[in-house]
C-alpha cells in the first residue's frame, strides 16, 4: 500500500498554551517498502505515528493510503506498540487470536492462518503457554503475529524493541524485518536507534527538533538486498550512520 503524508502539522493545547509538535511534514512510503523515522526526543515521532494510525487528527494536512484519506482507525493499518501488551491470563494462542475475536472474524480460515504463522516462526509449540513463560524476543514475535492475524496492508511499529536487551534486540529486529518483507507489508518504524533504522529500512526520514519537520530523507539504495545483520558490517552502513548522526544534531 502506498502512503502519502501530505503537509501534516500538529498543535496541542496545554495548560501553558499551545505546543507545536509537528510542522508541515511531507514524505511518501512506497508499496511494500520499509521506512524508519528517526529524530531527537520530543520531536513528534510517536505523534506522527498516531496520526498515521488514525488515532489522532492533525491540525493541518492529511494522510492518504492508496489515495484514501485516513480519518480514523482502519483495518488497512496494524499498530505494534512499544510493549508487547500480551495478556497474562490468556494463552499465546488466545493472545494472537484476540484481534479476530474482537472483530468477530474468528473463523476456521483465520485460525488456520494464525496456526501457520506460529509454526513458520517456531512458536506453535508454545501456543498453550502464558506470556511470562516466553522470552522477550518470543513475546515480540507473538505481538507481531497478533498484528498480522488481522491482515493489515500497513504495519506501524512504535519502538517495538526498546524493552529488549541489546543482543536480543539485534536478533529480533532482524527477524521481524525479515517477516515483514516475506509478508509483503508496507512498514513504518519509529526508533531512536540509528543503527536499527539503517539495518532494517529502505529509506530513513530524519526529523528535526520540535516542532518536527523533515530534515532529510535517506534512500538506502546501496544497502538494498542485504540482510539487517550483514548491513551492520558494511562501509556504507557507517557512512550513513555518520550522516544521520550529524543531521540529528543531538547536542543542541
Q: pLDDT digits over 103-118, tens only? A: 887 888 889 989 998 9
Q: Assign residue 206 a region: left if phi > 0, alpha if psi is -120 to 50, beta otherwise?
A: beta
| Cα angle for residues 181, 187, 191 (degrees, 5° grid) | 115
Burial class (CB in 10 A: 0-12, 13-18, 19+), 109: exposed
Average pLDDT across the chain, whole number: 88
Q: Give the lowest-confidence range in 2-6, 28-32, 77-81.
A: 77-81
Confidence of residue 215 (pLDDT cuts 50, 70, 90): very high
Given a cut of 50, whether residue 251 has pLDDT beyond it is no
More confident residue, 206 or 138: 206
Which residues partner with 64 through β-bridges?
A: 4, 69
Cα torsion for 242, 193, 224, 167, to the nearest 10°?
120
Domain boundaries, the chain: 3-76+153-248, 84-151
pLDDT at 170: 85
pLDDT at 242: 92
pTM: 0.87
pLDDT at 250: 55
pLDDT at 3: 94
Return the CATH superfamily for domain 3-76+153-248: P-loop containing nucleotide triphosphate hydrolases (3.40.50.300)
Given a cut of 50, whether residue 96 has pLDDT beyond it is yes
pLDDT at 252: 38
Distance CA(187)–CA(177), nearest Å, equals 9
More confident residue, 14 or 146: 146
Residue 176 has which C-alpha cell? 521481524
pLDDT at 112: 92
Q: Where are the alpha helices (DSSP H) in the chain?
A: 45-52, 92-96, 98-103, 108-120, 136-148, 166-182, 194-200, 228-231, 235-248
Per-residue pLDDT, averaged over 154-173, amounts to 83
Distance CA(241)–CA(99), nearest Å, equals 37
Amino acid at each position: 500500500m502506498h502512503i502519502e503524508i501530505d503537509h501534516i502539522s500538529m498543535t496541542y493545547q496545554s495548560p501553558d498554551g499551545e505546543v507545536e509538535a509537528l510542522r508541515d511534514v511531507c514524505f511518501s512510503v512506497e508499496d511494500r517498502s520499509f521506512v524508519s523515522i528517526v529524530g531527537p526526543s520530543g520531536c513528534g515521532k510517536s505523534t506522527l505515528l498516531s496520526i498515521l494510525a488514525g488515532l489522532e487528527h492533525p491540525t493541518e494536512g492529511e494522510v492518504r493510503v492508496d489515495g484514501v484519506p485516513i480519518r480514523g482507525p482502519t483495518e488497512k493499518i496494524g499498530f505494534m506498540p512499544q510493549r508487547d501488551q500480551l495478556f497474562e491470563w490468556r494463552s499465546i494462542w488466545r493472545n494472537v487470536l484476540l484481534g479476530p475475536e474482537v472483530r468477530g472474524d474468528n473463523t476456521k480460515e483465520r485460525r488456520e492462518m494464525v496456526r501457520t504463522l506460529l509454526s513458520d516462526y517456531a512458536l506453535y509449540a508454545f501456543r498453550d503457554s502464558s506470556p511470562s513463560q516466553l522470552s522477550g524476543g518470543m513475546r515480540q514475535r507473538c505481538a507481531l503475529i497478533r498484528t498480522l492475524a488481522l491482515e493489515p496492508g500497513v504495519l506501524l511499529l512504535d519502538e517495538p524493541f526498546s524493552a529488549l536487551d541489546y543482543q536480543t534486540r539485534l536478533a529480533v529486529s532482524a527477524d521481524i524485518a525479515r517477516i515483514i518483507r516475506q509478508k509483503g507489508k508496507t512498514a513504518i518504524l519509529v526508533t531512536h536507534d540509528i543503527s536499527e533504522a539503517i539495518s532494517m529500512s529502505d529509506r530513513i526520514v530524519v526529523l528535526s527538533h520540535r516542532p518536527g519537520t523533515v530534515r532529510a530523507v535517506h534512500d538506502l539504495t546501496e544497502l538494498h538486498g542485504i540482510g539487517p545483520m550483514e548491513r551492520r558490517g558494511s562501509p556504507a552502513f557507517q557512512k550513513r550512520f555518520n550522516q544521520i548522526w550529524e543531521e540529528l544534531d543531538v547536542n543542541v
